[in-house]
Amino acid sequence: MIEVAGYIPDIDEEDIERKVFFFHGREADVEVEIPYLTTDQLNKVIEKVKKASAETLKSFSAVEIVTIIDKVIGRLLDRSSVYRQKAEKLLPIVTGYDEEVIRLGLTSYLKTFRKHELQRFLVEDLGNPLLLDDFQPRTKGGFSKAVGPDLITHIWAGNVPALPLWSFISGLLVKAGNIGKVSSAEPLFASWFANLIVEVEPRLADCFAVVWWKGGDEEREQSVFGQTDVVVGYGGNGSLESLKNRISITTRFLPFGHKISFGVVSCSSLDSRRAVQTARQAALDVIRYDQQGCYSPQTFYIQNGGKVSPMEFARFLAHELDNFETRYPRRKLSMEESASLASWRQKEEMSIFSKPHKEVLGNTTNDWTVVYEEEISFSPSCLNRVVKVIAFDRIEDLVHVIAPHRPFLQTAGIAASPMELFQWADLLGNTGVTRMTALGRMTSPEAGWHHDGRFNLLDLIQMVDIEASAKEFSEKFAPYVD
């Protein structure tokens, strides 16, 4: 089976090389072909995209762009559409994730980009979305307009399917030309999205491109980065640091590196009835894409003093993970991942001898692992359905341990009373956590969320101000002045 990925506007070039990636699934294989442009061809694409951004995309209103995106998302949500059927058939082969995990995950994710959610997205960042279309009056006096860049370059990761939509859609909303570099691990979804946009609105055909080059290709990156206004990068912290060093100081760089997320469960939510449901929601956050997202939990901190003890909660969680493994089996791990998991688990099992209250729970094939311990610590797991459950007494004790890791914190899934929610959110926010959500929703950020505490649109635009003095002064030169 062969699938053509990528998207480039017409640059009058017939001789375009294609890179081929091979993916082996449980029941089928797929070859993915994607354009591998020369530097000269990339330059032609960039020139065309920037020109179309200025002359075409910026002529659309924000409402028109939202309507176009909504139509595209509607097609991707429609299970009878060709693109949705491709996604459900090919993404499990390419990513290794279970078919049902892909299907349910896509639906939940795509719904955040429907029309009303995008409108909320615009209001969240800009207050007045009309700022993207024309100068608007400001309460301080004068007028302002939000102007998007001529070109945004996106360096996308492939750990979570469809992840590129966040920055791709943000780039379209601010009316920028977009060059997206897909990951060789998942080159398909951004490609389908780009092609669907052109099907829905052919006038946007030259406003973006989805391509591939090998990370660290200095010749191509120097060409692209030298002509872009904003670079949005996803990936490991090391690769992003290297990327930063290859970008001009005059180019805005927005890196999204690896983060660590966790859950916190109050004793007030730990009675015999609610604890089981809470454990199930926690398990859902673990199994979705096997903890590959930055928002996936790697540890659950469980407060002592409830009717269900932290150790019992760990066993509830283990039971739920075992049930989910039957329904949504974990993807097949690479040799490196398998070795990392085996080493991590062996280390945890060996430490039981020095920690009498510690437990390591899992099935015989290591499809999931739950480690329970009572010494508060903060460290990443090896992922792939591996979590720690750690008991704590006071939230202040937990904050003390978490605080030194501020640069790496992102999401906290919380199960607590309303009063505790706000008290704990205040403390956790001061340590560097940027998102508080319900257990079961950690892997499904809502529309307009502040990714790593930042704004999705405001970081892309620049504001242009007409001060009140300029408006007043201009009145002296109006043709109607007596």
What CATH number does the domain containing 317 carry? 3.40.309.10
Q: Does 100 lie in the same domain as 163?
A: yes
pLDDT at 354: 86
pLDDT at 373: 95
Q: Are 458 and 131 in contact (CB under 8 A)?
A: no
Give a yes or no: residue 474 inside a domain: no
- Answering whether pTM is above 0.85, one says yes
Maximum Cα–Cα distance across the chain: 94
Alpha carbon 119 to its chain's center: 19
pLDDT at 333: 93
> What is the distance between the alpha carbons of residues 56 and 207, in angstroms, rounded to a whole number?
8
Q: Are 15 and 6 in contact (CB under 8 A)?
A: no
Q: Does 119 lie in the same domain as 140?
A: yes
Give a yes or no: residue 295 inside a domain: yes
Give a yes or no: residue 105 inside a domain: yes
Give a yes or no: residue 361 inside a domain: yes
Residue 58 vs residues 61, 172, 203: alpha-carbon distances, Å: 8, 10, 12
Q: Does 460 lie in the same domain as 428?
A: no
Q: Does 197 lie in the same domain as 337?
A: no
pLDDT at 122: 95
pLDDT at 272: 83
Phi, psi of 236 (to 5 degrees): -70, 155
Give a yes or no: residue 158 inside a domain: yes
Q: Does 412 lie in the same domain as 287?
A: yes
Q: Does 31 lie in the same domain as 71?
A: yes
Q: Does 98 lie in the same domain as 72?
A: yes
> What is the distance between the alpha carbons of residues 271 and 284, in angstroms, rounded to a whole number?
20
Give a yes or no: residue 78 inside a domain: yes
Give a yes or no: residue 479 inside a domain: no
Q: Does 230 lie in the same domain as 110?
A: yes
Phi, psi of 249 (to 5 degrees): -65, -25
Instruction: Please calculate the CA angle 426-431-436 and round it to the nearest 5 degrees.
Output: 50
Specify the number of domains making up the chain: 2
Give a yes or no: residue 200 inside a domain: yes
Q: Does 192 lie in the same domain as 123?
A: yes
Output the tens digit of pLDDT for each of the chain's 482 residues: 899 999 999 998 878 999 999 999 888 999 999 999 999 999 999 999 999 999 999 999 999 999 999 999 999 999 999 999 999 999 999 999 999 999 999 999 999 999 999 999 999 999 999 999 999 999 889 999 999 999 999 999 988 999 999 999 999 999 999 999 999 999 999 999 999 999 999 999 999 999 999 988 889 999 999 999 999 999 998 999 999 999 999 999 999 999 999 999 999 999 988 999 999 999 999 999 999 999 999 999 999 999 999 999 999 999 999 999 999 999 999 999 999 999 999 999 999 988 888 999 999 899 999 999 999 999 999 999 999 999 999 999 999 999 999 999 999 999 999 999 999 999 999 999 999 999 999 999 987 889 999 999 999 999 999 999 999 999 999 999 87
Q: Does 368 lie in the same domain as 302?
A: yes
Alpha helices in 351-454 (DSSP H): 395-402, 418-431
Task: Report strand pairing: 143-147 vs 462-466.
Answer: antiparallel
> What is the distance between the alpha carbons of residues 329 and 435, in angstroms, rounded to a whole number?
28
Q: Does 232 lie in the same domain as 295?
A: no
> What is the distance between the alpha carbons of residues 258 and 141, in angstroms, rounded to a whole number?
41
Q: Which domain holds residue 19?
A: 2-258+452-465
Q: Are 330 and 321 in contact (CB under 8 A)?
A: no
> What is the distance between the alpha carbons of residues 403 and 410, in angstroms, rounded to a whole number?
12
**Three-state SS at 264:** strand
Q: Domain containing 56 — which CATH number?
A: 3.40.605.10
Q: Which of 218, 246, 213 is nearest to 231 (CA)?
A: 246
pLDDT at 328: 95
Beta-carbon contacts of 288 under 8 Å, excluding residues fewer than 6 positions away, are 101, 105, 296, 443
> What is the distance between the alpha carbons of residues 299 and 390, in angstroms, rounded to a whole number?
7
> What is the distance between the alpha carbons of residues 144 and 135, in angstroms, rounded to a whole number?
5
Alpha carbon 391 to its chain's center: 30
List strand residue ranges (DSSP E) for 257-393, in order: 260-265, 297-303, 359-362, 369-373, 386-392
Q: Does 219 lie in the same domain as 283?
A: no
